[in-house]
């Protein structure tokens, strides 16, 4: 999975894969963008601060995308809704919105306070309070 993210970053940002890989290693080690730009220029192949910042932001987005894709896949699998077609659609989804659109019909509905009260048999009481005699 990380290899696909690295190759996608390299393709989208038009950088060499070794530049992306080294920069990701530095970012994952906790180095800041200004530090990498000034003191690790030889490792990144001379990337400037703007390029490194763009790479860091896109890396964060793509990692979040992969995490959400896995969460949705697990949720669909546990609910028994995962089909080969849904799995393929999830794998092809390129944005968070596309993943959410796939998951939307299967997402569990939220229970409101009113629904909980009705389930506890409080609807007649609410009706009598709303219409005093």
Q: Give the model confidence (pLDDT) of 67-111 as tens digits.
A: 999 999 999 999 899 999 999 999 999 999 999 999 999 887 888
- Chain centroid to Cα 22, Å, comes to 23
Closest CA to 75 of 64, 86, 65, 85: 86
Domain that holds residue 44: 2-130
Nearest to 36 by CA among 52, 56, 19: 52
Residue 133, pLDDT above cutoff 60:
yes
The number of C-alpha atoms within 13 Å of 43 and in the hemisphere containing its C-beta is 15
**125 vs 82: CA distance, rounded Å:** 42
> How many domains in the chain?
1
In terms of residues, how long is the chain? Answer: 133
Predicted confidence (pLDDT) per residue in 26-76, tens digit: 999 999 999 999 999 999 999 999 999 999 999 999 999 999 999 999 999
Predicted confidence at residue 111, as pLDDT, reads 80
Q: What is the DSSP letter of 95?
A: S
Residue 83 backbone class (left: φ over 0; alpha: ψ -120 to 50; beta: rest): beta
Tell me the CATH number at 108.
1.10.10.650
């Amino acid at each position: 999975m990380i290899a696909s993210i690295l190759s996608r970053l390299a393709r989208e940002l038009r950088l060499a894969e070794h530049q992306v890989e080294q920069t990701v290693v530095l970012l994952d080690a906790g180095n800041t963008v200004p530090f990498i730009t000034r003191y690790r220029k030889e490792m990144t192949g001379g990337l400037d601060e703007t390029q490194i910042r763009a790479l860091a932001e896109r890396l964060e987005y793509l990692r979040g995308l992969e995490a959400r894709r896995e969460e949705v896949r697990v949720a669909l699998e546990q609910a028994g809704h995962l089909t080969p077609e849904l799995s393929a659609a999830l794998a092809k989804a390129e944005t968070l919105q596309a993943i959410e659109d796939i998951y939307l019909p299967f997402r569990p509905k939220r229970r409101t306070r009113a629904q909980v009260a009705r389930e506890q048999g409080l609807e007649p009481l609410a009706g009598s309070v709303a219409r005093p005699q």
